[in-house]
């Protein structure tokens, strides 16, 4: 169970819950569906951040596909991949192309950070990250 706290959808009740489903009427959505909703909400944090990085770099999915030497459907696939199936290669390629730092807190509470490599200098100066 994560440490997030979810407020009741009716603010007048003034209660909070440790999961989304605790705050809702249980007979409207099955237990299995709630589990799927909560898992999906947690599982896409890296993919969501990759999309944010690409968009903030001013790149379309087609632009990213050209940069990664693949087709646009592959970019759409990467950007909808759950954390547990995300490859480090895909993440590192996004970081390098967008020149953005990926910084996410995973569902287990651990923080994952990947920064672009320093640009190579013609004068061979040392670069510190």
We report the CATH number of the domain holding residue 96 as: 1.10.260.40
31 belongs to a structural domain = yes
**Residues 35 and 65 both lie in one domain:** no
**Residues 23 and 66 both lie in one domain:** no
Residue 99: left if φ>0, alpha if ψ -120 to 50, beta else—which one? Answer: left
**Residues 109 and 48 both lie in one domain:** yes
82 belongs to a structural domain = yes
**Residues 30 and 15 both lie in one domain:** yes
Instruction: For residue 65, give its domain range.
Output: 44-113
Say whether pLDDT at 129 is over 80.
no
List, for residues 20-77, the tens digit of each pLDDT value: 555 555 556 677 776 666 666 554 578 999 999 999 999 999 999 999 999 999 999 9
pTM: 0.60
Distance CA 8, CA 124 (A): 57
124 belongs to a structural domain = no
């Amino acid at each position: 169970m994560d440490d997030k706290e979810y407020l009741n959808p009716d603010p007048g009740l003034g209660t909070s819950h440790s999961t989304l489903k605790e705050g809702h009427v249980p007979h409207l959505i099955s237990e299995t569906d709630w589990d799927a909703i909560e898992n999906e909400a947690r599982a896409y944090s890296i993919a969501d951040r990759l999309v944010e990085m690409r968009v903030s770099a001013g790149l379309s999915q087609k632009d990213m596909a050209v940069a990664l030497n693949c087709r646009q459907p592959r970019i759409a696939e990467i950007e909808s991949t759950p954390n547990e199936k995300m490859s480090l290669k895909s993440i590192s390629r996004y970081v390098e192309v967008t020149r953005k730092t990926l910084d996410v807190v995973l569902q287990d509470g651990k923080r994952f950070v990947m920064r672009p490599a320093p640009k190579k200098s013609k004068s061979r100066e040392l670069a510190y990250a």
